[in-house]
Structure 1
């Protein structure tokens, strides 16, 4: 049956699958087929707005001209479509003139367009603004007239009232000590209005936003202010940070902290490739009312400084009755500094047993036990074991259903055998049905491991992981080859969303040797081919969509 003859509901369902996150979208080709399909497909043509640097660059500022074209489409040509925008994906946007800013006569915005935009901002923010906010609003309109990308982006976000996902690069013009440093004032003003306008009965911007993904630049130093403002949005459920800033809050930033902790609706917080200060991670997590999932993965090729497993434990402990999933990867072989005064910060500790809702724990051997088994060639800058650290069976909560333990060596064998014996007896840890132990392939052989589990409906997976696959589990920057577009990180929703799904599904499963005991488990059923997946994630055999056009 031709597509035109299908019921409208089915046509809409088909159109929803034609929306793509990058590259030419098939939905635009469908608009040209017939009037009937045009009417059905038109709302989907704006469902996702993407304005990032070219794929072969892999990062950088967005296009001011592209912003202006989209604004004219959703506010002048077809304003009825603005409500259909669900996802916005952006490159960096700056407070000053970016490289794509041009004189007004060369931009897609006409004086008539700009007049409409100014009136829209005034109407949307309402008449109740105080004097200082009126000045900031008028400055926003002035910067919009000048073609600043920050002002354009803020207007796009204001106009898209049903926006659900926002993925953007956290961009600035130099470090904060540099005289040209400027935060994006229009975007920051919009975030303020998002939480203040509802008090006055005005429809707030970003009131339907559910998911935020922020990809920072290495020299970024202003991410925490916007992080706390975003966390305060009323319907936000997922906050993701990639390459999170290493600058903590300054005394002046404290004004941005909420007066009421545990006030955020966010249920999932993720820090990937992070080098964030422990105090600010704790403050951010402390905003959540009902935190259910938390991930922290340290930055690749950077030392871990000033934040360790015990700091994460302290941050999530207030959420002991809600947190169900905890993923922690500090890369056991990474150089760590700042632990000397208190080595016990290197592991989570006995407080972990208080996490009464925790179902899944994915963690490194050192972060759980304090035991470190360095790979060959690793600089010995940490203790191999820490006196007084609790054993695994002493710190696991009774609610735990699955434990994934990575970066293991011979030092874990005794505690692992003790844990498996507890599981067999069934007197404690009755909910624990699966244990995965990932050994460092360089440190141990299959013959060294004599672990087994003889218990109904429970399983043990023992895997041996080479260094390269452990590196992939960190989600670091993938290698770039000729003809392949740049992938800043496997964690990036902006530049590697498809590979990111693969990475999430197969991290910890990329192993060279493995064996199982117990029931037929998920790991055996998945039949993951580590070579194929490894080559894909390393971009040595990339999917077609990651190959640049000639």
Structure 2
């Protein structure tokens, strides 16, 4: 009998079970579930391996960047029937849930699947009875009925389930899946059942006044969530109410990563974040891209983190946008995490109009020397003005009775602003005015007097604002000096702005985890993230 040679093909069935599971898990994370569902029909062995994985990744959103973001009500109903009625033992395997746009009533733009299968978008009376029993079983033993809002909320929830509302359906999915690790959703519009559910989760986590549990009780929904992402998907709408949704999210006891895109928050009031307690959240990484969030809101969010390791903030300013946090406010807030913060990416859109700050509050336009106290910081990407107080050019649409100087008087040198712990430094949106300060930094690094851990130094210049080439050198063999000249398009790209390219004629988010996975991956790779 001939034995197998090294060239013999290896079948999936011949692989160890752990390898089979890993392969099937990759299929389960595709945009369409049909890939993993096809494995279920192959043989009994692969059926047993693939069955838990077939529900591990539940996605209810369109798959392309330029599609409508409406959830499918029919898909929600189908999933609830499967994990709650047909195979309830599978609900514990749901780990990632991704939802597009949903609301308390019919979506503004119907999902194509719902139009074709309208009869499948609503639950039967028998199913609603099962839903009622499930809600009572999951929440009944927490004593929530002592609150006057509880019974009306449950009634509205059940009515919504009977009517096929995406808000009610999604909230039930989150209730019955105890091991969700990642939750991704587009800004819910008028989704009161979902918003109240987040409040209840915070209440049961003993984070909201009125909770009377000395320790967190078992069975709390979303107990195992570690990663939350939410976004607005249109720059003209933005996420003005993100803070009200973020507050209960920050109460999640095992949350490590939080990201919100197009987050906008008012000039001074911390809004819905007032109940966050200092050092109460285990969040280690916060990302706010294409956002304009006020200083007080940023401060409350950072205060709530027990040990923040990474922060990314890219500012988006429009004619109707809030001003957002300024560099000095952010630097002061970051001092709360001098012992833990390792990675900072901040870009304040230097060319934005500064008419409200420039003449009277120039000291707020750069971080200041206190920034050097971040002695655990290893990676820093920052725009030139934010770290030096120098502008690469006049701000856009700036009008003033006085001529604007491009350099703030008495702005400190780079060597006095940067932490000694840095290993990676990239300064973007540069103008030729930074050359003297950059040369001083490079001389200091060459002499190994300070910044002995730096191995990468990058200066990315705005090509369209410059005339001469920059003459900067570093002769240290173990230090990479990276000088680049960016186009206007590349400058905008660094700011993570949404792009005006959509089949519907709108503006879509190029770094969306929900709709633009491929575009997002290319964006992050290009930025070195």
Which TM class, normalised by the smaller chain length?
Answer: 0.7 to 0.9
Q: Residues of 2 paired with 1:186 and 1:306: CA distance?
A: 28
Residues 1:63 and 1:78: Cα distance change in structure 2 (over 3 Å): same
Q: Residues of 1 paired with 2:322 and 2:351: CA distance?
A: 10
Residues 1:338 and 1:41: Cα distance change in structure 2 (over 3 Å): same
The alpha carbon displacement at 1:290 in A equals 0.4
The alpha carbon displacement at 1:84 in A equals 1.1
Q: Which residue of 2 aligns with 1:494?
A: 514
CA shift digits 1:76-112 (9 cap, x unpaired): 1111111111111111222344456999975352222
SS at match of 1:460: strand
Q: 1:310–1:349: 8 Å Cα contact kept in structure 2? A: yes
* Coordinate RMSD, CA, aligned: 2.9
Residues 1:20 and 1:391: Cα distance change in structure 2 (over 3 Å): same
Q: Residues of 1 paired with 2:474 and 2:216: CA distance?
A: 61
Q: Comparing 368-377 with 293-302, which one deviates more in the overlay?
A: 368-377
1:416 aligns with 2:438: yes
Q: Residues of 2 paired with 1:315 and 1:502: CA distance?
A: 31
1:273 aligns with 2:304: no
Q: 1:224–1:249: 8 Å Cα contact kept in structure 2? A: no
Q: Residues of 2 paired with 1:249 and 1:326: CA distance?
A: 24
Superposition pairs of residues 214-253 of structure 1, within 5 angstroms: 214-216=230-232, 218=237, 220-247=239-266, 253=272
Superposition pairs of residues 12-31 of structure 1, within 5 angstroms: 12-23=21-32, 25-31=34-40
SS at match of 1:371: coil
Q: 2:40–2:46: 8 Å Cα contact kept in structure 1? A: yes
Unaligned runs of 5+ in 2: 1-9
TM-score (norm: length of structure 2):
0.86
Question: Could you tell me which of 438, 443, 446 is aligned with 2:465?
Answer: 443
Q: 1:370–1:389: 8 Å Cα contact kept in structure 2? A: yes
The alpha carbon displacement at 1:377 in A equals 7.6
Residues 1:3 and 1:228: Cα distance change in structure 2 (over 3 Å): same
Q: Comparing 296-305 with 119-128, which one deviates more in the overlay?
A: 296-305
The alpha carbon displacement at 1:144 in A equals 2.7
1:356 aligns with 2:375: yes
Residues 1:182 and 1:133: Cα distance change in structure 2 (over 3 Å): closer
CA shift digits 1:8-45 (9 cap, x unpaired): 22211211121234245421221222222122111111
SS at match of 1:448: coil
1:114 aligns with 2:128: yes
The alpha carbon displacement at 1:221 in A equals 3.2
Q: 1:269–1:295: 8 Å Cα contact kept in structure 2? A: yes
Q: Residues of 2 paired with 1:407 and 1:160: CA distance?
A: 45
The alpha carbon displacement at 1:186 in A equals 4.0
Q: 1:154–1:186: 8 Å Cα contact kept in structure 2? A: no
The alpha carbon displacement at 1:251 in A equals 8.5
Q: 1:300–1:474: 8 Å Cα contact kept in structure 2? A: no
Q: Which residue of 1 aligns with 2:474?
A: 453
Q: Which residue of 1 aligns with 2:422?
A: 400
Superposition pairs of residues 176-191 of structure 1, within 5 angstroms: 184-191=194-201
1:314 aligns with 2:332: yes
Q: Which residue of 2 aligns with 1:90?
A: 99
Q: Residues of 2 paired with 1:29 and 1:377: CA distance?
A: 55
Q: Comparing 268-277 with 6-15, which one deviates more in the overlay?
A: 6-15
Q: Comparing 291-300 with 469-478, which one deviates more in the overlay?
A: 469-478
Superposition pairs of residues 8-157 of structure 1, within 5 angstroms: 8-23=17-32, 25-53=34-62, 55=64, 57-98=66-107, 107-127=121-141, 128-129=143-144, 130-132=146-148, 134-135=150-151, 136-157=153-174
CA shift digits 1:115-174 (9 cap, x unpaired): 11111111111332224254234443343333332221111111111111111011224x
Unaligned runs of 5+ in 1: 174-180, 510-550
Q: Which residue of 1 aligns with 2:5?
A: none
Q: Residues of 2 paired with 1:90 and 1:412: CA distance?
A: 45
SS at match of 1:92: coil
**Which structure's relative contact order is higher, taking Cα pairs within 8 Å and 6+ residues apart?**
2
Residues 1:251 and 1:324: Cα distance change in structure 2 (over 3 Å): closer
Q: 2:122–2:161: 8 Å Cα contact kept in structure 1? A: no
SS at match of 1:326: strand
SS at match of 1:457: coil
1:288 aligns with 2:297: no
CA shift digits 1:517-538 (9 cap, x unpaired): xxxxxxxxxxxxxxxxxxxxxx
Q: Comparing 304-313 with 91-100, which one deviates more in the overlay?
A: 91-100
1:345 aligns with 2:364: yes
The alpha carbon displacement at 1:226 in A equals 1.5
The alpha carbon displacement at 1:400 in A equals 1.1
Q: 2:247–2:272: 8 Å Cα contact kept in structure 1? A: no
4+ runs deviating over 6 angstroms? 101-105, 375-378, 484-487
Q: Comparing 163-172 with 375-384, which one deviates more in the overlay?
A: 375-384
Q: 1:51–1:63: 8 Å Cα contact kept in structure 2? A: yes
The alpha carbon displacement at 1:56 in A equals 6.4
